[in-house]
Chains A and B, each alone.
Chain A
Amino acid sequence: MDCNELVELVTDYLDGALDDETRTRFDLHLRACDGCENYLQQFRETVSTLGNVRDDQLDPAFRDRLLAAFRHWR
Protein backbone atom coordinates (compact mmCIF):
# COMPACT_ATOMS: atom_id res chain seq x y z
CA MET A 1 0.00 0.00 0.00
CA ASP A 2 1.36 3.41 -0.98
CA CYS A 3 0.75 6.65 0.90
CA ASN A 4 -1.53 8.03 -1.82
CA GLU A 5 -3.73 4.93 -1.47
CA LEU A 6 -3.74 4.94 2.31
CA VAL A 7 -5.01 8.53 2.55
CA GLU A 8 -8.17 7.51 0.66
CA LEU A 9 -8.94 4.69 3.10
CA VAL A 10 -8.80 6.60 6.37
CA THR A 11 -12.56 7.03 6.83
CA ASP A 12 -13.14 3.34 6.04
CA TYR A 13 -10.38 2.52 8.52
CA LEU A 14 -11.89 4.65 11.27
CA ASP A 15 -15.35 3.16 10.57
CA GLY A 16 -13.93 -0.37 10.84
CA ALA A 17 -15.08 -0.99 7.27
CA LEU A 18 -11.85 -2.34 5.75
CA ASP A 19 -11.60 -6.04 5.01
CA ASP A 20 -9.05 -7.91 7.14
CA GLU A 21 -6.38 -8.05 4.48
CA THR A 22 -6.57 -4.34 3.65
CA ARG A 23 -6.63 -3.43 7.31
CA THR A 24 -3.48 -5.45 7.91
CA ARG A 25 -1.71 -3.70 5.02
CA PHE A 26 -2.94 -0.35 6.35
CA ASP A 27 -1.56 -1.07 9.82
CA LEU A 28 1.75 -2.35 8.44
CA HIS A 29 2.18 0.79 6.32
CA LEU A 30 1.29 3.00 9.24
CA ARG A 31 3.93 1.43 11.45
CA ALA A 32 6.65 2.25 8.92
CA CYS A 33 5.51 5.68 7.73
CA ASP A 34 5.62 8.84 9.85
CA GLY A 35 3.87 10.90 7.17
CA CYS A 36 0.83 8.61 7.14
CA GLU A 37 0.81 8.28 10.89
CA ASN A 38 0.66 12.07 11.04
CA TYR A 39 -2.02 12.12 8.36
CA LEU A 40 -4.17 9.79 10.44
CA GLN A 41 -3.58 11.98 13.50
CA GLN A 42 -4.63 15.07 11.50
CA PHE A 43 -7.73 13.26 10.31
CA ARG A 44 -8.69 12.23 13.84
CA GLU A 45 -8.15 15.81 15.04
CA THR A 46 -10.31 17.03 12.15
CA VAL A 47 -13.16 14.72 13.12
CA SER A 48 -12.87 15.76 16.75
CA THR A 49 -12.78 19.46 15.80
CA LEU A 50 -15.93 18.99 13.69
CA GLY A 51 -17.53 17.43 16.76
CA ASN A 52 -17.03 20.74 18.57
CA VAL A 53 -18.66 22.90 15.89
CA ARG A 54 -21.87 24.40 17.26
CA ASP A 55 -24.69 26.01 15.36
CA ASP A 56 -25.78 29.51 16.16
CA GLN A 57 -28.72 29.87 18.47
CA LEU A 58 -32.08 30.24 16.80
CA ASP A 59 -33.09 33.60 15.51
CA PRO A 60 -35.31 34.90 18.37
CA ALA A 61 -38.18 35.73 16.00
CA PHE A 62 -38.16 32.18 14.63
CA ARG A 63 -37.96 30.72 18.12
CA ASP A 64 -40.97 32.83 19.11
CA ARG A 65 -42.90 31.50 16.11
CA LEU A 66 -42.21 27.93 17.22
CA LEU A 67 -43.30 28.67 20.78
CA ALA A 68 -46.42 30.38 19.44
CA ALA A 69 -47.21 27.25 17.42
CA PHE A 70 -46.92 25.29 20.65
CA ARG A 71 -49.33 27.60 22.48
CA HIS A 72 -51.75 27.35 19.57
CA TRP A 73 -51.56 23.53 19.70
CA ARG A 74 -51.99 23.40 23.47
Chain B
Amino acid sequence: MTGILKDESELLAALRDGDEGAFAQIVDLHAPAMLRVARGYVRTHEIAEEVVQETWIALLKGISRFEGRSSLRTWLFAVMINIAKQRGVKERRTADAEVAALTGGTVDPARFRPADAEIWPGHWKEHREPAAFPLTPEGSVLADELIAVARRELDKLPERQRVVVSLRDMLGFDSSEVCELLGIGVVNQRVLLHRGRAAVRQALENYLADAS
Protein backbone atom coordinates (compact mmCIF):
# COMPACT_ATOMS: atom_id res chain seq x y z
CA MET B 1 0.00 0.00 0.00
CA THR B 2 1.43 3.31 -1.06
CA GLY B 3 -0.32 5.37 1.59
CA ILE B 4 -0.63 8.28 -0.81
CA LEU B 5 -4.07 9.08 -2.14
CA LYS B 6 -3.73 8.92 -5.92
CA ASP B 7 -6.19 10.51 -8.28
CA GLU B 8 -9.02 8.47 -9.63
CA SER B 9 -7.59 7.50 -13.02
CA GLU B 10 -4.32 6.39 -11.37
CA LEU B 11 -6.26 4.37 -8.81
CA LEU B 12 -8.33 2.71 -11.53
CA ALA B 13 -5.22 1.87 -13.53
CA ALA B 14 -3.62 0.37 -10.42
CA LEU B 15 -6.82 -1.56 -9.77
CA ARG B 16 -6.72 -3.07 -13.27
CA ASP B 17 -3.16 -4.13 -12.51
CA GLY B 18 -4.40 -5.96 -9.42
CA ASP B 19 -2.99 -3.51 -6.84
CA GLU B 20 -4.69 -4.38 -3.57
CA GLY B 21 -3.53 -1.15 -1.93
CA ALA B 22 -5.36 0.84 -4.60
CA PHE B 23 -8.48 -1.24 -4.02
CA ALA B 24 -8.26 -0.66 -0.26
CA GLN B 25 -7.95 3.09 -0.83
CA ILE B 26 -11.04 3.22 -3.03
CA VAL B 27 -12.98 1.05 -0.60
CA ASP B 28 -12.06 3.23 2.39
CA LEU B 29 -13.02 6.31 0.41
CA HIS B 30 -16.46 5.20 -0.77
CA ALA B 31 -17.73 2.13 1.07
CA PRO B 32 -18.79 3.83 4.34
CA ALA B 33 -21.04 6.27 2.47
CA MET B 34 -22.34 3.45 0.27
CA LEU B 35 -23.35 1.53 3.39
CA ARG B 36 -25.16 4.58 4.73
CA VAL B 37 -27.22 4.93 1.56
CA ALA B 38 -27.80 1.18 1.12
CA ARG B 39 -29.18 1.07 4.64
CA GLY B 40 -32.01 3.34 3.47
CA TYR B 41 -33.22 0.59 1.14
CA VAL B 42 -32.88 -2.70 2.94
CA ARG B 43 -34.06 -4.15 6.21
CA THR B 44 -30.82 -4.98 8.01
CA HIS B 45 -27.23 -3.84 8.25
CA GLU B 46 -26.13 -7.29 7.07
CA ILE B 47 -28.13 -7.03 3.85
CA ALA B 48 -26.72 -3.53 3.31
CA GLU B 49 -23.20 -4.99 3.59
CA GLU B 50 -24.11 -7.67 1.03
CA VAL B 51 -25.42 -5.01 -1.34
CA VAL B 52 -22.23 -2.99 -0.99
CA GLN B 53 -20.08 -6.10 -1.48
CA GLU B 54 -22.00 -7.04 -4.64
CA THR B 55 -21.41 -3.54 -5.95
CA TRP B 56 -17.65 -3.85 -5.52
CA ILE B 57 -17.68 -7.22 -7.23
CA ALA B 58 -19.65 -5.66 -10.10
CA LEU B 59 -16.97 -2.98 -10.36
CA LEU B 60 -14.18 -5.56 -10.45
CA LYS B 61 -15.99 -7.61 -13.09
CA GLY B 62 -16.52 -4.54 -15.22
CA ILE B 63 -13.25 -2.73 -14.47
CA SER B 64 -11.70 -3.44 -17.87
CA ARG B 65 -14.72 -1.80 -19.49
CA PHE B 66 -15.09 1.06 -17.00
CA GLU B 67 -14.31 4.05 -19.14
CA GLY B 68 -14.61 6.73 -16.55
CA ARG B 69 -17.34 8.53 -18.45
CA SER B 70 -19.05 9.09 -15.13
CA SER B 71 -17.06 9.56 -11.98
CA LEU B 72 -16.32 6.31 -10.18
CA ARG B 73 -18.36 7.47 -7.21
CA THR B 74 -21.45 8.19 -9.30
CA TRP B 75 -21.08 4.81 -10.99
CA LEU B 76 -20.72 3.00 -7.65
CA PHE B 77 -23.80 4.67 -6.17
CA ALA B 78 -25.92 4.09 -9.29
CA VAL B 79 -25.06 0.38 -9.40
CA MET B 80 -25.42 0.05 -5.64
CA ILE B 81 -28.88 1.63 -5.59
CA ASN B 82 -30.02 -0.72 -8.37
CA ILE B 83 -28.80 -3.76 -6.46
CA ALA B 84 -30.33 -2.44 -3.25
CA LYS B 85 -33.70 -1.94 -4.94
CA GLN B 86 -33.67 -5.54 -6.15
CA ARG B 87 -32.93 -6.61 -2.60
CA GLY B 88 -35.20 -3.98 -1.13
CA VAL B 89 -37.31 -6.25 1.02
CA LYS B 90 -37.90 -3.43 3.43
CA GLU B 91 -41.46 -2.19 3.59
CA ARG B 92 -40.98 1.28 2.32
CA ARG B 93 -42.82 4.08 0.72
CA THR B 94 -41.60 5.53 -2.52
CA ALA B 95 -40.10 9.00 -2.47
CA ASP B 96 -43.27 10.36 -4.05
CA ALA B 97 -45.43 8.76 -1.36
CA GLU B 98 -43.15 10.14 1.35
CA VAL B 99 -43.48 13.62 -0.14
CA ALA B 100 -47.27 13.29 -0.47
CA ALA B 101 -47.51 12.38 3.22
CA LEU B 102 -45.78 15.60 4.28
CA THR B 103 -48.11 18.24 5.61
CA GLY B 104 -47.64 21.53 7.39
CA GLY B 105 -44.63 23.75 7.65
CA THR B 106 -41.09 22.94 8.70
CA VAL B 107 -41.03 25.52 11.50
CA ASP B 108 -43.26 25.39 14.59
CA PRO B 109 -46.31 27.53 13.60
CA ALA B 110 -46.50 28.83 17.17
CA ARG B 111 -43.43 30.94 16.42
CA PHE B 112 -45.37 33.07 13.95
CA ARG B 113 -48.12 35.63 14.51
CA PRO B 114 -51.50 34.20 13.55
CA ALA B 115 -52.98 34.88 10.12
CA ASP B 116 -55.64 37.11 11.66
CA ALA B 117 -53.19 39.22 13.68
CA GLU B 118 -53.79 42.92 13.28
CA ILE B 119 -50.18 43.68 12.54
CA TRP B 120 -47.59 41.54 10.82
CA PRO B 121 -49.56 38.31 10.37
CA GLY B 122 -47.28 35.40 9.51
CA HIS B 123 -44.21 37.15 10.91
CA TRP B 124 -42.01 35.98 13.77
CA LYS B 125 -43.49 36.60 17.18
CA GLU B 126 -41.45 38.71 19.49
CA HIS B 127 -38.87 36.62 21.39
CA ARG B 128 -39.50 33.66 19.07
CA GLU B 129 -37.45 34.85 16.10
CA PRO B 130 -34.29 32.91 15.33
CA ALA B 131 -30.92 34.11 16.59
CA ALA B 132 -27.83 33.59 14.47
CA PHE B 133 -25.90 30.41 15.24
CA PRO B 134 -22.50 31.13 16.79
CA LEU B 135 -19.49 30.83 14.51
CA THR B 136 -17.71 27.60 15.28
CA PRO B 137 -14.10 27.34 14.17
CA GLU B 138 -13.38 23.94 12.65
CA GLY B 139 -12.06 21.55 15.27
CA SER B 140 -13.49 23.52 18.19
CA VAL B 141 -15.39 21.63 20.88
CA LEU B 142 -18.69 23.25 19.91
CA ALA B 143 -18.18 22.51 16.21
CA ASP B 144 -17.63 18.83 17.02
CA GLU B 145 -20.70 18.77 19.26
CA LEU B 146 -22.85 20.29 16.53
CA ILE B 147 -21.58 17.76 14.00
CA ALA B 148 -22.56 14.98 16.43
CA VAL B 149 -26.02 16.51 16.93
CA ALA B 150 -26.47 16.82 13.16
CA ARG B 151 -25.46 13.22 12.62
CA ARG B 152 -27.88 11.94 15.28
CA GLU B 153 -30.72 13.90 13.73
CA LEU B 154 -29.77 12.78 10.22
CA ASP B 155 -29.95 9.16 11.34
CA LYS B 156 -33.46 9.78 12.72
CA LEU B 157 -34.90 11.24 9.50
CA PRO B 158 -37.42 9.30 7.42
CA GLU B 159 -35.57 7.19 4.84
CA ARG B 160 -36.02 9.24 1.69
CA GLN B 161 -35.12 12.47 3.49
CA ARG B 162 -32.09 10.82 5.03
CA VAL B 163 -30.86 9.52 1.69
CA VAL B 164 -31.35 12.86 -0.08
CA VAL B 165 -29.72 14.93 2.70
CA SER B 166 -26.84 12.45 2.93
CA LEU B 167 -26.18 12.55 -0.80
CA ARG B 168 -26.57 16.30 -1.20
CA ASP B 169 -25.11 17.82 1.97
CA MET B 170 -22.90 15.16 3.47
CA LEU B 171 -21.47 13.69 0.27
CA GLY B 172 -21.79 16.72 -2.01
CA PHE B 173 -23.66 15.20 -4.95
CA ASP B 174 -25.42 17.88 -6.98
CA SER B 175 -29.15 18.12 -7.48
CA SER B 176 -29.29 16.52 -10.95
CA GLU B 177 -27.09 13.59 -9.86
CA VAL B 178 -29.34 12.90 -6.89
CA CYS B 179 -32.48 13.02 -9.04
CA GLU B 180 -30.96 10.57 -11.49
CA LEU B 181 -29.61 8.22 -8.82
CA LEU B 182 -32.91 8.08 -6.95
CA GLY B 183 -35.21 8.34 -9.97
CA ILE B 184 -37.13 11.28 -8.51
CA GLY B 185 -38.13 14.66 -9.87
CA VAL B 186 -36.23 17.80 -8.95
CA VAL B 187 -39.17 19.31 -7.05
CA ASN B 188 -39.69 16.28 -4.82
CA GLN B 189 -35.97 16.02 -4.28
CA ARG B 190 -35.93 19.58 -3.01
CA VAL B 191 -38.97 19.00 -0.78
CA LEU B 192 -37.22 16.03 0.87
CA LEU B 193 -33.97 17.95 1.18
CA HIS B 194 -35.68 20.95 2.73
CA ARG B 195 -37.62 18.82 5.24
CA GLY B 196 -34.52 16.98 6.30
CA ARG B 197 -32.38 20.10 6.62
CA ALA B 198 -35.13 21.88 8.56
CA ALA B 199 -35.29 19.02 11.06
CA VAL B 200 -31.53 19.13 11.55
CA ARG B 201 -31.63 22.93 11.89
CA GLN B 202 -34.25 22.59 14.63
CA ALA B 203 -32.13 20.02 16.47
CA LEU B 204 -29.11 22.34 16.33
CA GLU B 205 -31.18 25.29 17.52
CA ASN B 206 -32.52 23.24 20.44
CA TYR B 207 -29.04 22.06 21.33
CA LEU B 208 -27.61 25.57 21.29
CA ALA B 209 -30.53 26.89 23.39
CA ASP B 210 -29.95 24.17 26.00
CA ALA B 211 -26.21 24.77 25.99
CA SER B 212 -26.46 28.51 26.62
Contact = CB atoms under 8 A, between A and B. Distances in A.
Nearest to A73: B60
Interface size class of A (residues with CB under 8 A): 35 or more
Given A8-B106, A50-B165, A70-B23, A57 B132 contact: no
Contacts of A20: none
Contact of B57 (A12, A53, A73): A73
- Interface of B, helix, strand, loop or mixed by DSSP: helix
A51 B194 contact: no
Given A7-B106, A50-B197, A74-B20, A42 B60 contact: no
A70 B109 CA distance: 54
A58 B28 contact: yes
B197 A41 contact: no
A28 interface: no
Nearest to B31: A58
Interface in A32-55: 33-36, 38-39, 41-43, 45-47, 49-53, 55
Contacts of B151: 53
B36 A42 contact: no
Nearest to B171: A51
Nearest to A5: B122
A72 to B, nearest CB: 9
B36 A55 contact: yes
- Interface of A, helix, strand, loop or mixed by DSSP: helix
Nearest to A10: B194
Interface residues of B, number: 54
Contact of A46 (B31, B36, B60, B150): B150
B33 interface: yes
B170 A58 contact: no
A50 B27 contact: no
Given A2-B122, A55-B33, A62 B150 contact: no
Contacts of B116: none
15 contacts: A3-B112, A4-B122, A7-B105, A35-B124, A43-B197, A45-B133, A46-B197, A49-B204, A50-B165, A53-B170, A63-B27, A65-B53, A66-B52, A67-B27, A69-B53
Interface of B: 18, 20, 23-24, 27-28, 31-33, 35-36, 49, 52-53, 56-57, 60-61, 105-107, 109, 112, 121-124, 129-133, 138, 143, 146-147, 150-151, 154, 165, 169-170, 172, 175, 186, 190, 193-194, 197-198, 200-201, 204-205
Shortest 3 CB-CB distances between A and B: which pairs? A2-B122, A35-B129, A55-B32
